[in-house]
Structure 1
Amino acid sequence: MKALKGTWAIVLAIFFVLVYLIPLNGRLLWQPDETRYAEISREMVAKGDWVVPNLLGLRYFEKPVAGYWFNNVSQLLFGENNFAVRFASVFSTALTALLVFALAWLMWKNARRACLAALIFLSMVLVFSVGTYSVLDPMISLWLTAAMVSYYLTLKASTAKGKLAGYVLLGLACGMGFMTKGFLALAVPVISVIPIVIQQRKIKELFCYGPVAVVVAALLSLPWALAVARSEPDYWNYFFWIEHIQRFADDNAQHKAPFWYYLPILVAAVLPWLGLLPGSLLKGWRERVQRPELFFLLSWVIMPLIFFSIAKGKLLTYILPCMAPMALLMAAYAEDCVTQLRTRVFKVNALLNGLFGLTGIIGLVLIGTGVLPNVELFSANEWPKIIFGIIAFAGWMLFAVVSARNNAQRWTWAAACPLLLCLLIGYAIPQQVIDSKQPQHFIQNNISVLNQSRFVMTDSVGIAAGLAWELKRSDILMFSEKGEVTYGLAYEDSRNRYVSYEDFPQWLEQARKQGDVSLVLQLSRDERVPQSLPTPDSVYETSRLALLWYKQLP
């Protein structure tokens, strides 16, 4: 047993380092998400204010503060670099994997199954894609997983003291979740446990002990909630009505998508374990009475999925909390298949992975050879990037073949399918994507001009955050577009941080008396710099970004 644990620990450690740590500095920050979260935390640390989130020196009330704390600590530990920006997400994902392992052990007392569940979780496409990307979703997923593990402890507790302890842990998890992403952290656990409470007839117990979790969550959140209300009285009004009611329910909610949006997302999210998906869900339903722990996991997957599908606003990252229970269901299903010598499911899984890898290779070959005339993703001199992409998908296909060998006895090798993709993806990104989505490259190429400019402005919030991050200054001005900082710019003390297109010539005339001016424009495909703008002294341009430099006038 010790040898088994040691082998699995080594495998998981190597996998984690290769997939989650090594690639962090292999690609530039993406805008708007990564540049935004990098800059918010940089400003909080620089200002020493860990209560009120600011972006570009403007009030930014879209999220609570705990997720930023993770990023703040990461930057304090590792410095202001891309690794630090993403490490908080990686750390949260690692803790979630440990919780997956712990819950599997609680349920089955089987070390191999617990390690397998953690490996399946860490190797899922959605998990490693979001878990190595700087957003708050890995943090909220951590706290929601902790909440469900805590609730499972209450179900298994045989004494009042044990149940009380479980509900206290549930309250702590929900409180941290609330301070990470708001009321969502309170709604999702409640929705997830409703079928479980009904099935196990725990309604009375929930009403008896549930208030304990509510009180603990409230007490944990209260100091910050009061502090931010004292500093910014309008915070809770904006956060509740705009960020919750409008985003999830209003007809004009952000990121609107149809009800079925998450079905194809789920199919892609669980790769390279897609072949296990149908059987795992069916097993959870068919054995819901004999094995209540499977129904617990099934409810944890399905109920949040339904909740997010009903909501008007949708993003693919929202269903990340469903991946932990899905990994546990898959581990249980796979182990049962092995015990019953049912290898067909593993062969189907290998086939699906092989087809995915082959499709990626064929797609890149067709794009690279120009067979698809309307798809111009790579320029003529970017063939090495196409080669890197082909190698990555070939690796996916290779490990699919390995997982099918010896009558699929090596089926766990499917976890290695994404390995080369994770390691090489940063070197296969087309230049036009870098120009439009990774502004660090453009900023670093023009850093001397930008550093000497008294005023720096742009028409994109994502670019503005990237400029602020690279230049280590928060006074980037918004030009023509306000985007997600519209609310912050509405305050009287911040209105001078925005210049409209119409007012720009007059503003520029006054600004040039104080110093150089740099205007960074994000261009649409094939768009040129507007001729109606005042003539700059210099223009630095790529396919999707342009820097207009105006020299100081005497």
Structure 2
Amino acid sequence: MKMMRNGLLLLALFSLYYLIPLAFRSLWQPDETRYAEISREMLVNGNWVVPHFFGLRYFEKPIAGYWINNLSQLIFGHNNFGVRFGSVFSISITALLVYWLTLRIWRDRTTALMAGIIFLTSLLVYAIGTYAVLDPMITLWLTAAMCGYWLVVEAPTTGKKVRAWLLMGFACGMGFMTKGFLALAVPVIAILPWAVQQKRFKALLVYGPLAVLGAAVISAPWVIAIAHREPDFWHYFFWVEHIQRFAEANAQHKAPFWYYLPVLLLGCLPWLALLPGALCNGWRDRQNNSGSRYLLSWVVMPLLFFSIAKGKLPTYILPCFAPLAVLLARQAMQLMGVNGQALKANGWINLGFGLVCAIVVLGFLAPWGWAKHPVYRHHEGMKVALAAGAFLWWGWVGYITLKAPTQRWCWAALCPLALALVVGQAIPERVTDSKQPQQFIQRMKPEIASGHFVLANTPGVASGLAWELQRSDIILYDQPGEVQYGLRYPDAKGRFVSGADFAQWLEQHRREGSVTLVMLLSRGNENSDAEVPKADFSYRQGRLVMYQYQQTP
């Protein structure tokens, strides 16, 4: 009876965190609107081989991540829940793999359960796991690959080893089809030091080709199909998306070597106090427990790899949180009833974090705060209250755990709950007006949809328009952005209009029908009307503005 009650409680918490909020948060541009629209176009066109964005070839990522999003939208429809459920599904299966691996290493169900809970409630995992990007999918496949290798380690017979190697290869192949060659490199980087120390390097060389075979078998049909249909795909994907992004001086998202340190610390909340002990124990236990060394190598080696790379984003280190959650859970279980200082420190950290964030919201971000340019506007008092209340809840839960840290330490899983439920309603208008065009588009949808030609000045806004209007013929205005490569193809002629040519283009095309232009203005740009010909109707909301030009005879 107790097990059933606990199971229902976990299901309720999972729903509150990962299911209920999905539909009540507007999509963010450029990421969420991009992946929503690419999958929508795949379903409409029935082309599950070549990704297209606005009907243009889009070669930035392979196909498997889109497949998961396609299935999600196919089941749940073209809505915000359907867009994000692919990420939730991937991160949930990853949590189950974390549970499985913890159970295999330490044979303790309580530790395994807490590892899954710590993983799902870590701030970085939750933030990315409910966000429509491809990183939860690659995290799933990399975790599956590392679990597959642990099956290899434990396999008692040659036949089971062969099957485990092939299973690992299948996972790597799916990862390769999600984000490319990264999925092949990261497991090797994580496993190699451990295999050398455990004197398994020879076995790695002998049986490793089986994993390569498994990856080749699972990915070959699509690899061959897209090479046949789009011969230029692999040239672009390898050199631009891998070499330039990760190694060259002009890599995207450049950041210093230490960039991931604060990301790791914040991402571990609300379990941050367990981090130093978890890493130290993993290092101390490396001689007595090969599982600890394996997990530690899995955390540290990919983290170093991504730190060395020129291009960096917080989402890149998400796969490191699977083994880290296992180490954190192990550390917490060892402290219970023995030493409550770290568990007590975790409560103090959560209390302090919640109070500091609430003070920042009320004292600096609120319109009555001390900041010269507050984030919230004067009519957004309710949003301020929701944001401050969410962080006060975080601090209050931390305070409650202080009363009995060795018994209540696991209550820290409730710290982000209020934030998860209200964050969609607490975002300031200054942010929604620039980063969430969905609200603007929905408000002006009849007017925008009436345009025979619809243009947008950024791919992020254009993808929001395409998603909401259910049409892929949005024309890019002035800034080609990430679709610049797709615009080079002959069949993309007419899908881009430069700012210098717009007046002439408008004079010609408004004879065929009305024209709607939606622009995301740069910060501080208050004179956008001077940039375009005088419109018959215009509407502005924050940094988003719509211009309408009626058809002329």
Query: What interval of TM-score do these two structures reach, taking the shorter chain for normalisation?
Result: over 0.9
Cα shift readout 1:454-479 (whole Å, capped 9, x = no counterpart): 00001110000000000000000001
Match of 1:362 among 317, 337, 359: 359
Name the residue aligned to 2:550. Answer: 551
SS for the counterpart of 1:409 is helix
Deviation at residue 407 of structure 1 after TM alignment? 4.5
Match of 1:18 among 10, 16, 19: 16
Name the residue aligned to 1:9. Answer: 7
Cα shift readout 1:201-233 (whole Å, capped 9, x = no counterpart): 001111111000001101110000010111111
Deviation at residue 495 of structure 1 after TM alignment? 2.8
Alignment map for 1:422-437 (pairs within 5 Å):
422-437=420-435
Using the alignment, how far apart are the partners of 1:371 and 1:207 within structure 2?
A: 62
Establish whether residue 309 from structure 1 lines up as the match of residue 292 from structure 2: no
Name the residue aligned to 2:281. Answer: 283
Name the residue aligned to 1:162. Answer: 160
Name the residue aligned to 1:531. Answer: 530
* TM-score relative to the length of structure 2: 0.98
Deviation at residue 449 of structure 1 after TM alignment? 1.1
Match of 1:344 among 334, 341, 344: 341
Name the residue aligned to 1:110. Answer: 108
| Alignment CA distance shift 1:289-1:7 (3 Å) | farther
Using the alignment, how far apart are the partners of 1:407 and 1:29 within structure 2?
A: 38
Deviation at residue 512 of structure 1 after TM alignment? 0.6
Cα shift readout 1:381-405 (whole Å, capped 9, x = no counterpart): 0000000011101110111112221
Using the alignment, how far apart are the partners of 2:531 and 2:330 within structure 1?
A: 64
Q: Which amino acid aligns with 2:349?
A: L
Contact 2:166 2:211 in 1 (8 A): yes
Name the residue aligned to 2:50. Answer: 52
Contact 2:375 2:428 in 1 (8 A): yes
SS for the counterpart of 2:366 is helix
Using the alignment, how far apart are the partners of 1:134 and 1:533 within structure 2?
A: 34
Deviation at residue 86 of structure 1 after TM alignment? 0.1
Match of 2:130 among 129, 132, 144: 132
Q: How many residues align?
A: 551
Deviation at residue 543 of structure 1 after TM alignment? 1.4
Deviation at residue 117 of structure 1 after TM alignment? 0.5
Name the residue aligned to 1:232. Answer: 230
Q: Which amino acid aligns with 1:463?
A: V
SS for the counterpart of 1:481 is coil
Establish whether residue 199 from structure 1 lines up as the match of residue 197 from structure 2: yes
Using the alignment, how far apart are the partners of 2:390 and 2:493 within structure 1?
A: 48
Using the alignment, how far apart are the partners of 2:2 and 2:139 within structure 1?
A: 29
Name the residue aligned to 1:379. Answer: 377
Deviation at residue 245 of structure 1 after TM alignment? 0.6
Deviation at residue 493 of structure 1 after TM alignment? 1.3
Choose 102-111 or 54-63, whichever is displaced more. Answer: 102-111
Alignment map for 1:495-506 (pairs within 5 Å):
495-506=493-504
Using the alignment, how far apart are the partners of 2:56 and 2:410 within structure 1?
A: 49
Establish whether residue 210 from structure 1 lines up as the match of residue 196 from structure 2: no
Deviation at residue 6 of structure 1 after TM alignment? 3.8
Name the residue aligned to 2:174. Answer: 176
Contact 1:525 1:543 in 2 (8 A): no
Deviation at residue 371 of structure 1 after TM alignment? 3.3
Deviation at residue 506 of structure 1 after TM alignment? 0.6
Deviation at residue 369 of structure 1 after TM alignment? 5.1
Contact 2:367 2:378 in 1 (8 A): no
Q: Which amino acid aligns with 2:340?
A: T
Contact 1:526 1:543 in 2 (8 A): no
Cα shift readout 1:391-440 (whole Å, capped 9, x = no counterpart): 10111011111222124421100010000000000110101111100001
Contact 2:367 2:375 in 1 (8 A): no
Using the alignment, how far apart are the partners of 2:405 and 2:54 within structure 1?
A: 57
Name the residue aligned to 1:97. Answer: 95
Name the residue aligned to 2:350. Answer: 353
* TM-score relative to the length of structure 1: 0.98
Provide the identity percentage: 52
Deviation at residue 161 of structure 1 after TM alignment? 1.3
Contact 1:274 1:349 in 2 (8 A): yes
Q: Which amino acid aligns with 1:362?
A: I
SS for the counterpart of 1:113 is helix
Using the alignment, how far apart are the partners of 1:393 and 1:297 within structure 2?
A: 32
Using the alignment, how far apart are the partners of 1:335 and 1:60 within structure 2?
A: 47
Cα shift readout 1:8-67 (whole Å, capped 9, x = no counterpart): 433321221110001001210000000000000000000000000000110000000000
Contact 2:336 2:406 in 1 (8 A): no
Contact 2:367 2:374 in 1 (8 A): no
SS for the counterpart of 2:545 is strand
Using the alignment, how far apart are the partners of 2:170 and 2:370 within structure 1?
A: 53
Using the alignment, how far apart are the partners of 1:201 and 1:163 within structure 2?
A: 17
Contact 1:58 1:489 in 2 (8 A): yes
Contact 1:141 1:321 in 2 (8 A): yes
Deviation at residue 160 of structure 1 after TM alignment? 1.0
Using the alignment, how far apart are the partners of 2:446 and 2:299 within structure 1?
A: 51
Cα shift readout 1:255-303 (whole Å, capped 9, x = no counterpart): 0000000000000001000000000000001110011111110000000
Alignment map for 1:377-456 (pairs within 5 Å):
377-456=375-454
Using the alignment, how far apart are the partners of 2:410 and 2:358 within structure 1?
A: 23
SS for the counterpart of 1:164 is helix
Structure 1: gaps (5+ residues): none
Establish whether residue 271 from structure 1 lines up as the match of residue 269 from structure 2: yes
Contact 1:520 1:547 in 2 (8 A): yes
User: How large is the RMSD of aligned CA atoms in angstroms?
Assistant: 1.1
